[in-house]
Amino acid sequence: MALIDIADVDRTRVLTLAHEKPTNPFGKDMANVFMEVVREADADDGVDAIVVFGGHDRCFSAGGNFNEARLLATDEAINETIDWCTDLYLSVLNTRKPTVAAIDRHAIGLGFQLAMMFDWKIMSTRADLVMPELEHGIGASMAATILTTACGYDAARHIIMSCRPISPDTALHRRMVDEVCEPEFLLERAMQRAARMGRYPEIAYSATKRVLVAPMQAALENTREASKAVHRATFGAKAMHKHFDNVLGAGGGQAGSAAS
């Protein structure tokens, strides 16, 4: 089974996350495939814009793969995880072409952070954004960096410290997303927006985007080593393993994020 389904609609590349779990958890393999297909789309002269969608009636992504996360037992493994998480986010920021995220159901932890990397974000009325790391004993250093850069200190502080879901109306009010629509229209709206942005003159768009995303790129690079230290400390304390076991034991698949 492919981890990501690829389809071209006119000149828009639609990447649909297709993990066997409807929560679309990200582990190393999923991240590597995602980065590869995003790079391929960006390099394809027949593609003007990129849409990422979690699939019909599926999560955009409920975060990291807990089966992998609870096996992180060495400093080297934790460092590697932070590196691929950081590279995952940068893969979206580094695209020259317009990127649109179509967010349904849940975007949690890593999934929330990935969604924040897109040029345009559309959220369904039944979706939410959640950063629950601290209440589960997971470090939120990458979330702090991303949300402070994107939303400002006070908004980031509230999101991270409260660990509560963010509704579509609140996300729209805070400019964390750009549009909200009913779930049955989500993919269509994302493709319409991508097609419109894909018609912008390429040089003007890519040159402007390079300047616009530079602060987030720099922030992610600057937090790599600090985030590795945070996660080495929190995984060493093993406070999150009870949560991992509860989620996996309940048969709920992987939800949340192990690298935030």
Q: Taking Cα atoms as reference points, which of 48, 154, 36, 135 lies closest to residue 99?
A: 48
- What is the percent of the chain where pLDDT is above 90? 80
Q: Which fold has domain 4-249?
A: 2-enoyl-CoA Hydratase; Chain A, domain 1 (3.90.226)
Inter-residue contact 119 to 177 (CB < 8 Å)? no
How would you class 203 by CB atoms within 10 Å of its CB: exposed for 0-12, middle for 13-18, buried for 19 or more? exposed
Mean pLDDT (whole number) for 42-53? 98
pLDDT at residue 212, as a whole number = 98
Is the entire prediction scored with pTM above 0.85? yes
| Residue 75 pLDDT class (50, 70, 90 cuts) | confident
- Residue-wise pLDDT tens digits, 184-240: 999 999 999 999 999 999 999 999 999 999 999 999 999 999 999 998 998 777 655
Nearest to 133 by CA among 114, 159, 155, 172: 159
Residue 69, pLDDT > 60, answer yes
Whether pLDDT at 122 is above 60:
yes
Least confident residue range of 46-55, 69-78, 138-147, 210-219:
69-78
